């Protein structure tokens, strides 16, 4: 036995003028025109009230800003703050009244029955979903399953998603989505967000702004489906119909969300660039590390000026002379750090596996003198890295 349909969600919708029982002595067309006009007037009054409410908020915020400036100035001048007490109380009272009214207006809007002007689809058109053609997105997926599904989805539909992202008007976008209903899903929205961030990182700002507009369309469709609790593929036509016929307040809401999204994309792109630069610098630093795990550039910059000049000029004799003039512990510390960073390589010929005679000759001579070629190589390496 088929499960009975739940009609509860339609209980608060006022849409059917022509199905009302009307007394035969009443002029039905006139009654319908009157009801329609009444709905229009109520709708306009709601918009006017909302406009005045928002205007009042801006006025309060402007007064609050001036008050804060006045308060700060008086505080800096060490004046008597009690003179502003009455003004502060009045302002706080007005803010409280506005918040109460705002909460009441939102409650009234939630409880208000929908009328015919709130519906966004055309009377004789509908969106039908061919389940044999479109894909059914799995539900209750784990994070791993979602990642795997996203990967497969993008592999299959990446070209179409990018094509969608390049449309430039509502009519073309609507037609494309109606022909590719499988794209109306979270995976498409997620890919578009990542694409926007990548474009911003590549400094393709104009293209990012264009794709972000298409991204916001997809997100609004998905949000509409959550509000109406229906399949997002059924919300394609309603969304575009609403964008074409909606009031300025709704359109402005779309623009505000779009601008906020672009700001988030720009912030995220900057962070990713900074992270990439930091990672690259760390990788390069790891490549530079000497045998003792020290960075030759950091060691070089920490040496006294005289020692830096010795390495830059590759003058071994001068280097020995400068070290001999330093306190023994300090010279030993500098020398140890130079060896660990690879700037100074003692007994270099032994390290290269030269023949025994060269090795013996090296042992008989001062290690620092015998390593001139390696010191030179270390300095050359440092110069390249710098």
Output the domain CATH number for residue 245: 1.20.58.610
Burial of 89 (0-12, 13-18, 19+ CB in 10 A): exposed
Do 191 and 234 have their domain in common?
A: yes
Do 315 and 368 have their domain in common?
A: yes
Could you say which of 284, 306, 333 is where a domain stops? 284
Do 246 and 352 have their domain in common?
A: no
Mean pLDDT of the chain, nearest integer: 76
With residue 245 as reference, give the H or E element that holds it. helix 236-245
Do 275 and 172 have their domain in common?
A: yes
Q: If pLDDT is split at 50, 70 and 90, which confidence band does 157 have?
A: very high
Q: Which of 22-26, 247-251, 282-286, 361-365 has the lowest mean pLDDT?
A: 361-365
* Tokens at 262, concatenated: 């672009």
Helix (H, G, I), strand (E, B) or coil at 182: helix
Do 257 and 162 have their domain in common?
A: yes
Do 205 and 177 have their domain in common?
A: yes
Could you say which of 284, 309, 335 is where a domain stops? 284
Do 308 and 202 have their domain in common?
A: no
CA 1 to chain CA centroid, nearest Å: 49
Assess if residue 37 is contained within a domain. no
Residue 273 pLDDT exceeds 70: yes
Quick: pLDDT tens for 183-233: 999 999 999 999 999 999 999 999 999 999 999 999 999 998 888 888 899
Q: If pLDDT is split at 50, 70 and 90, which confidence band does 136 have?
A: low
* Full residue range of the structural domain in which residue 200 is found: 143-284
How much is the average pLDDT of 237-259? 84
- Distance (Å, rounded) from C-alpha 216 to C-alpha 261? 8
Domain count, the chain: 2
Print burial letters for 316-341: b (CB count within 10 Å at least 16), e (below 16): beebeebbeebeeeebeebbebbbbb
Task: Report the half-sphere exposure of 361 (CA within 13 A, side-chain side).
Answer: 10
Assess if residue 31 is contained within a domain. no
How much is the average pLDDT of 287-291? 77
Secondary structure letter of residue 116 according to DSSP:
G
State pTM to two decimals: 0.48
How much is the average pLDDT of 255-281? 90
Determine contact, residues 98/60, Cβ cutoff 8 Å. Answer: yes
Residue 91 pLDDT exceeds 70: yes
Could you say which of 284, 306, 325 is where a domain stops? 284
Do 263 and 341 have their domain in common?
A: no
């Amino acid at each position: 036995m088929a499960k009975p349909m739940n009609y509860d969600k339609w209980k608060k919708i006022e849409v059917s003028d022509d199905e009302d029982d009307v007394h035969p002595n009443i002029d039905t067309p006139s009654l319908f025109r009157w009801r329609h006009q009444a709905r229009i007037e109520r709708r306009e009054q709601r918009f006017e009230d909302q406009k005045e409410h928002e205007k009042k908020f801006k006025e309060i915020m402007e007064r609050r800003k001036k008050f804060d400036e006045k308060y700060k100035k008086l505080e800096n001048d060490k004046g008597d703050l009690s003179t502003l007490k009455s003004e502060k109380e009045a302002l706080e009272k007005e803010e409280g009244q506005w918040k109460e009214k705002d909460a009441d207006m939102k409650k009234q809007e939630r409880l208000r029955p929908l009328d015919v002007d709130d519906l966004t689809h055309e009377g004789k058109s509908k969106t039908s979903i061919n389940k044999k053609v479109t894909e059914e997105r799995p539900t209750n997926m784990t994070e791993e399953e979602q990642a795997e599904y996203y990967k497969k989805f993008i592999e299959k539909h990446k070209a179409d998603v990018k094509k969608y992202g390049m449309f430039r008007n509502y009519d073309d976008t609507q037609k494309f989505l109606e022909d590719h209903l499988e794209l109306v899903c979270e995976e498409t929205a997620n890919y578009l967000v990542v694409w926007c961030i990548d474009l911003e990182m590549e400094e393709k700002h104009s293209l990012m702004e264009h794709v972000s507009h298409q991204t916001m369309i997809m997100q609004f469709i998905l949000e509409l489906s959550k509000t109406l609790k229906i399949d997002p593929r059924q919300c394609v036509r309603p969304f575009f119909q609403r964008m074409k016929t909606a009031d300025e307040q709704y359109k402005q809401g779309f623009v505000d969300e779009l601008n906020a999204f672009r700001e988030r994309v720009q912030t995220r792109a900057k962070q990713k660039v900074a992270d990439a630069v930091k990672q690259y610098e760390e990788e390069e630093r790891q490549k530079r590390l000497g045998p003792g795990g020290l960075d030759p550039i950091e060691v070089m910059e920490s040496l006294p000026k005289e020692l830096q000049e010795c390495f830059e000029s590759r003058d071994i004799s001068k280097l020995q002379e400068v070290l001999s003039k330093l306190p023994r512990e300090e010279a030993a510390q500098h020398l140890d750090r130079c060896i660990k960073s690879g700037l100074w390589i003692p007994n270099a010929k032994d390290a290269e596996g030269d023949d025994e005679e060269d090795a013996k000759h090296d042992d008989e001579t001062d290690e620092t003198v015998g390593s001139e070629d390696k010191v030179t190589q270390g300095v050359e390496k440092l110069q390249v890295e710098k």
